[in-house]
Amino acid sequence: MKINLKNVLLILLLTGLQKSIAQVNKVTVLMKQHAAAPVIRSFIGDVSNAAANYTTGNAVDGNGYYMLGSLPWSVVYFVNRTSKVVANWGEIRKKYNTLNNEHSYLGWPADDEKLLPDGTGYFQEFDHGYIYWHPAYGAHVVKGEFFNHWAKNNWEKGVFGYPIEDEFNYPAKPKDKSKEAFQKFFNGIIYVSENLITHQITTAVKIYNPNYNPSRGH
């Protein structure tokens, strides 16, 4: 029996297209269901007529889909690697957008935004870090050793308080044997240094007011 190669290729193409359409339809339903939850809908708005759009994501964390909400600065994501739907909105969304969204070093959102214990600030976890926002200090990325040291000191509830700037990396010089960076918080600074030969990490801190209590604001 003679096999028509063109017909075989056409069948394979149509089969792949059908699977792709089915995947998009499934993802669309999941994203709309997530966005319809009352706590999410209040920040995202109506997505009943919205479409799921494919995005390449990034080389480390893979691809996925995004869906725009009806409210400004609101997006719903579906991450293919984790099969998880998450929402991203408001000031944290704006900050994430300045970093180039899911294409950035932060990767994809790993969970929905959450209200912090003080009832004022919000944070969102991403594949490779966090964004914290407070109306008085803005939205800032905290990641890596900065986050680890900050977390050991009880995050924004501890002596450092909220981040007030992103981390700053000192320009590297050809003869340098280490790279150094720092990040400012409301009540102090965390310094991180990495030996470029041994890759050993060291941290140091500067606290402005050792008696600082975030719950009292001083």
pLDDT attached to residue 10: 55
Picking from 180, 187, 129, 135, the residue whose alpha carbon sits closest to that of residue 158 is: 187
pLDDT attached to residue 151: 98
pLDDT attached to residue 1: 44
pLDDT attached to residue 20: 73
pLDDT attached to residue 171: 83
DSSP 139-200: EEEE-HHHHHHHHHTTGGGSSS-SB-S--EEPPP-TT-SEEEEEEEETTEEEEEEEETTT--
Print pLDDT tens along the chain (218 aa): 455 555 545 554 545 545 577 888 999 999 999 999 999 999 999 999 999 999 999 999 999 999 999 999 999 999 999 999 999 999 999 999 999 999 999 999 999 999 999 999 999 999 999 999 999 999 999 999 999 999 999 999 999 999 999 999 988 776 778 889 999 999 999 999 988 888 899 999 999 999 998 877 55
pLDDT attached to residue 7: 54
DSSP 72-130: TTEEEEEETTTTEEEEEEHHHHHHHHHTTGGGSTT-SB-S--EE-TTSS-EEEEETTEE
pLDDT attached to residue 6: 57
pLDDT attached to residue 195: 87
Give the amino acid at 214: P
